[in-house]
Amino acid sequence: MSFSIKAIVIYGRNGEIRTITFKQSGLSIITGKSKTGKSAIIDIIDYCLGRESFNVAEGIIRQKVAWFALHIVKKDEEVFIARKNPGPGASTGSEAFLHRGRVEAYPALGTLEKNITVDALQQFVTQFAGIVENEHRPEFGTRRPLSANISHALFICFQKQNTIASQDQLFHRMNEDFLPQAMKDTLPYFLGAVDEEHFLLLNDYDELARLLRIKEMAAARTISTVGVSRTRITRLINDAKRLGMLTQDIQPDQDDIIDRLRQLSKYELDNPEYVPDFGETISALSNQEISIQKSLGQLNHDIRAAREFLSDQTEFSREASEQASRLKAMGLYKSTDHNPAVCPICESTLVNPGAAAQDINDALGAVQLHLKEVHKESPHIQEYIATIESRILDQTERLKVVQNELRHAISEDERVRAIQNQLIERARLMGRIGAFLDIFEPTFEADDIGEEIASIRDRLEAIRSRINSDDIAARMEAALNLIGKKMTEYSAMLDLEHSGSALRLDLRRLTVVADTEDGPIPLFRMGSGENWVGYHVLTHLSLHWWLRKRNRPVPAFLVFDQPTQAYYPSDIVDGDLDQIERDEDRKAVQSLFELMKNACEEIGPPFQLIVLDHAHLRNSWFEGAIVEEWRGEGALIPDNWPSISAIG
C-alpha cells in the first residue's frame, strides 16, 4: 500500500492558494498549450517529496510562487508537505513544512515555516511510501550497500518530456551519474524479488558475522595466551609435583590442565601441627656442652698441676732419698772424733776445714725431716688427684650425654624445619597459581569458544542459504517474465514496429527488448520516433501493473509529461486530434490514450496515472479524466499573482 497525490497546492507570494486536485485513482489529465507550466508539475511533485535540488525551470513559477505544497494520502492517512520556493537562480532550498493528519483546509501562507529538515522529510516520505528497512548488498565489487529510499522509487514514477520520447534512456534520471546502478540495485526490492524478510535476514546475518568476528578474535587471543603461558604452566605443574601436590602422571598439555590448576589453588594445606621449637633446646644443650667442656678443661688443668706438683715432690723425694742414703754412710764410722780443721796426714791446718761428722749428721737429719714432710703431703695430693680424676670421668660421661642429646635435637630440628619449609613452599606455589589464573582469563576456556564459534557459523550458513541470491535472481526473472508478458499484451494495443514480438525489460541495460525472429532488439536499436514513446508508456504501465498487483512500496502514481509531443505540431494551441495531419499519427495518439485508459482500469486501485499533454480527445472517458485545462487564460500560475520583484 503506498500513497497517491490528492492535490498540488501552490502559494502565491500574496498568500493566495492555487490547488490542483487529482483523481485518487485512475487517469487524471492536465491538458493545455505549451508554456502553461505543465512540465513544472513533475519537478514540483519531486521537490515536495524531498528532492534536495530544486529543478523547476526559471521563469514565472520561480518568481511568483512562495511555497509549493503537496497533499498526499494513503488509505485514510493524509499528509501535507510544503516547501519554500528558494527563488530565482537558487538550486537548493532547505525550508520544509510537514503536517501529518487530517487536512481540512490548507494552512495559510503565514503559518508555513520550516518544521522539518529535508533529510528528515525524505526519511518520512520513504517510510510513508512503505519502504522499510532494506538494503541492496552487492555481491561483488566495491559498491557500498544501498538502502532504497523514496528517490529511487520515484525513478519509475516520472517520465519527463525529454525522457518519455527518448530512444536511449528508458527511465527517469538515468542520464545522471551512478543512478543507473542505483536503480539496478534497488529494483529487485521494488519489484518484490527481495522482500522485507530478506532484509531482516541480512540484518541478522550482519549481526552474527560481527559476533563471529568478535568471538574469533577472542579465541585467537585465548590460544595465544595459552601458548605463551605454556612455559609458566609447565613450571607450575613441575613444582606442584615436586611438592607432592600432583601425581607424576599429570602432563602440562592436558586438556583439563587449567581445571587442575584451579583445584590446586584451593588445595588443603595441612594444619600446621604444633611444631616444637628445637631452637631453644638446641641452644640450651649447646650451652651445657660448652660449660661442661670448660669445666673439663679446668679439671684437666688442675690435675696436670697436681700431678706435676706430685712428681716434683716425687722427684724431690727421690733426690732427697738419695742424699739421705749417702749421708747415712756416716753411720758406718765407729770413731767420729776427728778434727776436720787439721789434715790428719800432714797435720797442717786446712784453709777450709773439711766436713765434720757433725755436719754430715746434721745434714742427714735435715734431709730426713724434709722427707718426712713431703711424705706427709703426698697422700693429700694423691687423694686430690684421685678426686679430680673421678670428677673428670663424671664430666666426660655427662658431656657424652649432652652431645648425644644435642645431635638428636639438631636432627629433629632439621626434620621439622623441612616439613615447615615444605608447607611454606606449598603455600607459595598456591599463591603463584592463583596469580597466574587471575591473569589467565578464568572466565572461559578455549573449548567453550570453539563451540560458540561453530554454532555461530552454523547459524550464518542457515541464514545465508535463505538469503540465497540465486533465489532472488530467479524471482526477478519470474517477475520480469510476467511484466514482459504484460508489456507484450499492451504492445498489441499499439501499432508498434515490433508489436507481436515478445517484449521484455532488460534490467542490465535498463531498456526494453523485443525478442524477434531476427534476435533480440533493444529500444535503442529500434526504428522511428513515435514507437519509442509507445514503449515507454507500455513499459511503465506494465511496471505499475506489477507494483500494484504485488502491493509494492512504490508511490501509487505515474506521471507522463507530453507523451504525444512527437505527434502534435509545436505551435499547436488546440488539443484536438484533428490538429494532427497524418492518419497514423492520429491513430497512434488515440491508441496511446486508450491504452492508458485500459491500463488504469486493469491496474488495481489505487493507481493514479497523471498525464500532462497537449491532447484533448473528445472521448467521454478522456474528458472525464481532465482535471485542468490550461488554454486561453488558464495556467498553473494565476496571472494576477505578484512576482518576487513586484514585492521587492
Partner 1 sequence: MLERWDRRPPEEAYLFNAAFCGALSCEFIKAFAAKDKVGAPITLLLLALSISLHGKTRERLPKSTAASLYQWVQSNEDILIGLAQRTSALRPYVLEAIRFGVGTKALRFVGGQTLGLGEKPALYTAGKIRTETNETKRVVDQTRMTGRWFSKSGEEPFILSAFGVKP
Task: Return the C-alpha cell found at 518.
Answer: 531476427
Q: Which stretch binds partner 1 (CB under 8 A): 23-31, 293-301, 333-341, 502-510?
A: 333-341
Rank residues 276 and 353 by Cβ distance to partner 1 and give the closer one. 353
Q: How far is the CB of 382 from partner 1 (least distance, A)?
A: 21
Q: How far is the CB of 328 from partner 1 (least distance, A)?
A: 7
Instruction: Determine if 329 is a binding residue for partner 1 (CB under 8 A).
Output: yes
Q: How far is the CB of 362 from partner 1 (least distance, A)?
A: 9
Q: How far is the CB of 290 from partner 1 (least distance, A)?
A: 47
> Hey, which residues does 8 pair with through a beta bridge?
20, 70
Binding test (CB under 8 A) with partner 1, winner from 333, 390, 407, 581:
333
Rank residues 131 and 324 by Cβ distance to partner 1 and give the closer one. 324
At position 617, the amino acid (one-letter code) is L
Q: How far is the CB of 339 from partner 1 (least distance, A)?
A: 7
Rank residues 271 and 352 by Cβ distance to partner 1 and give the closer one. 352
Q: Which of residues 284-323 bind partner 1 (CB under 8 A)?
A: 319, 321-323
> Three-state secondary structure along 50-90?
CCCECCCCCCHHHHHEEEEEEEEEECCEEEEEEEECCCCCC
Instruction: Determine if 348 is a binding residue for partner 1 (CB under 8 A).
Output: no
d(CA 579, CA 574): 7
Q: Which stretch binds partner 1 (CB under 8 A): 340-348, 412-420, 591-599, 615-623?
A: 340-348
DSSP letters spanning 466-482: HH-HHHHHHHHHHHHHH
Rank residues 105 and 351 by Cβ distance to partner 1 and give the closer one. 351
At position 561, the amino acid (one-letter code) is D
Instruction: Determine if 360 is a binding residue for partner 1 (CB under 8 A).
Output: yes
Structural element, H or E, at residue 100: strand 96-100
Instruction: Determine if 370 is a binding residue for partner 1 (CB under 8 A).
Output: no
Q: How far is the CB of 331 from partner 1 (least distance, A)?
A: 7
Q: How far is the CB of 380 from partner 1 (least distance, A)?
A: 24
Q: How far is the CB of 308 from partner 1 (least distance, A)?
A: 21
Rank residues 351 and 454 by Cβ distance to partner 1 and give the closer one. 351
**DSSP type of residue 356:** -
Rank residues 123 and 321 by Cβ distance to partner 1 and give the closer one. 321
Q: Are residues 161 and 39 in contact, defined by beta-carbon separation less than 8 angstroms?
A: yes
Strands, sheet with 608-613, edge to edge from the N-terminal-most edge strand? 158-159, 557-561, 608-613, 26-32, 626-630
Binding test (CB under 8 A) with partner 1, winner from 367, 479, 494, 538:
367
Rank residues 232 and 328 by Cβ distance to partner 1 and give the closer one. 328
Query: CA separation (Å) from 283 to 16, 67, 410, 641?
Result: 120, 111, 10, 123
Buried b / exposed e along 383-421 (16+ C-beta atoms within 10 A):
eebeebeebbeebeeebeebbebbeebeeebeeeeeeee
Binding test (CB under 8 A) with partner 1, winner from 76, 351, 454, 633:
351
Instruction: Determine if 442 is a binding residue for partner 1 (CB under 8 A).
Output: no
d(CA 382, CA 72): 147
Structural element, H or E, at residue 19: strand 17-21
Residues whose CB falls within 8 Å of the CB of residue 360, separated by 6 or more in sequence, listed in order: 327, 330
Instruction: Determine if 336 is a binding residue for partner 1 (CB under 8 A).
Output: yes
Q: How many residues bind partner 1 (CB under 8 A)?
A: 34
Helix (H) and strand (E) counts in the chain: 16, 13
Instruction: Determine if 105 is a binding residue for partner 1 (CB under 8 A).
Output: no
> Pseudo-torsion of CA 458, 460, 463, 464, nearest 10°?
-110
Q: Which stretch binds partner 1 (CB under 8 A): 62-70, 345-353, 496-504, 615-623?
A: 345-353
Instruction: Determine if 356 is a binding residue for partner 1 (CB under 8 A).
Output: yes
Q: Which of residues 385-414 bind partner 1 (CB under 8 A)?
A: none
Binding test (CB under 8 A) with partner 1, winner from 75, 102, 266, 334:
334
Q: Which of residues 579-638 bind partner 1 (CB under 8 A)?
A: none
Binding test (CB under 8 A) with partner 1, winner from 212, 357, 374, 423:
357
Q: How far is the CB of 324 from partner 1 (least distance, A)?
A: 8
Q: How far is the CB of 358 from partner 1 (least distance, A)?
A: 9
Q: Are strands 4-12 and 17-21 parallel, antiparallel or unpaired?
A: antiparallel
Q: Which stretch binds partner 1 (CB under 8 A): 118-126, 201-209, 346-354, 387-395?
A: 346-354
Task: Return the C-alpha cell found at 296.
Answer: 673439663
Binding test (CB under 8 A) with partner 1, winner from 142, 247, 352, 465:
352
DSSP letters spanning 201-230: HHHHHHHHHHHHHHHHHHHHHHHHHHHHHH
Q: Are residues 54 and 90 in contact, defined by beta-carbon separation less than 8 angstroms?
A: yes
d(CA 188, CA 208): 24
Binding test (CB under 8 A) with partner 1, winner from 244, 344, 379, 632:
344
Exposure on the CB side of residue 540, measured as CA atoms within 13 A:
36
Q: Are residues 247 and 395 in contact, defined by beta-carbon separation less than 8 angstroms?
A: no
Q: How far is the CB of 349 from partner 1 (least distance, A)?
A: 12
Terminal-residue alpha carbon distance, the chain:
45
Rank residues 344 and 648 by Cβ distance to partner 1 and give the closer one. 344
Instruction: Determine if 327 is a binding residue for partner 1 (CB under 8 A).
Output: yes
Rank residues 370 and 408 by Cβ distance to partner 1 and give the closer one. 370
Instruction: Determine if 355 is a binding residue for partner 1 (CB under 8 A).
Output: yes
Rank residues 364 and 537 by Cβ distance to partner 1 and give the closer one. 364
Rank residues 320 and 430 by Cβ distance to partner 1 and give the closer one. 320
Binding site for partner 1 (CB under 8 A): 319, 321-323, 325-336, 338-340, 343-345, 350-357, 359-360, 363, 367
